[in-house]
Amino acid sequence: MQLIESHASFGGTQEVWQHQSGVLGCDMRFGVYRPPQAADGECPVLYWLSGLTCTEQNFITKAGAQRYAAEHGIIIVAPDTSPRGDDVADADSYDLGQGAGFYVNASESPWSKHYRMYDYVVEELPALVDAHFPTSTARAISGHSMGGHGALVIALRNPGRYRSVSAFSPIVAPTRVPWGHKAFGAYLGLDSESWRQWDACELIIESKPDGEKMPLLVDQGEADEFLDSQLQPTRLQAACEAANHPLQLRMQPGHDHSYYFIASFIGEHIAHHAKALYR
């Protein structure tokens, strides 16, 4: 563990750490906001997953989350979006390769050597965070776009691990949109049946009637340029209605896909998580 950055912020500190990931086989960076309450005892953790092209920097510098995390006493952990390095497979396009890990475990060459972001976020990163920071056992997860997809899928696949989940502009049905077809075809192979375990809508439809039904909070901008082609939140709405899964889908007029959108509602999302984390 190597401390890369540390900045005083709202009575706490915004830090960036680097470590060698055994799961991903490369150096990884993640942001950690320590609220002022962390100086006196354990705090719950909110994991934030960013979208395509992002690093750990986008959320910690643009979302304005530190103010609300300090108010509620929540540690926020924001990892990078993919493995990085000269020996890590990459592509010429923004939506595949480095910066586009899609939070899956790749099974196809050359991606399978490093692209295991699901295992990293679910297992390795929390173990590292719990060992080095004053965390309680309460966890929540959220994300944006590709990271919203990751947050929903990870929460749905791991009942009992997280107390709450939310998403901004998530890719809710990657098996049915171009971003998902491209990424899943490369990382997971051409058998589309294997893709379904990484699709939030499919997981909800296939869930057991008596299984955990964690309420989903989703904000979506109505002026999002990717709304109809890549995001399609009505698919999530239909899946939740069919499975009787609680969903609060908030369509926000005038908002696009940017961090201006996230910054406008991040306070409400953190309050949503705080209610669950401190219950």
Show which residues are catalytic: 145, 224, 257
What value does the CA radius of gyration of the chain take, rounded to a whole number of Å? 17
The dihedral through the CA atoms of 30, 35, 41, 44 has a sign that is negative
Distances (CA, A) of 97 to 33, 101, 125, 177, 261: 27, 6, 20, 18, 26
Query: Would you put residue 28 in left (φ > 0), alpha (ψ -120 to 50) or beta?
Result: beta
DSSP category for residue 228: I
Please say whether the beta carbons of 151 and 143 come within 8 A.
yes
Please identify which residue in the block is written with the tokens 């470590």. 19
Distances (CA, A) of 237 to 80, 87, 152, 173, 230: 29, 41, 13, 11, 15
| Residue 197 in tokens | 């375990």
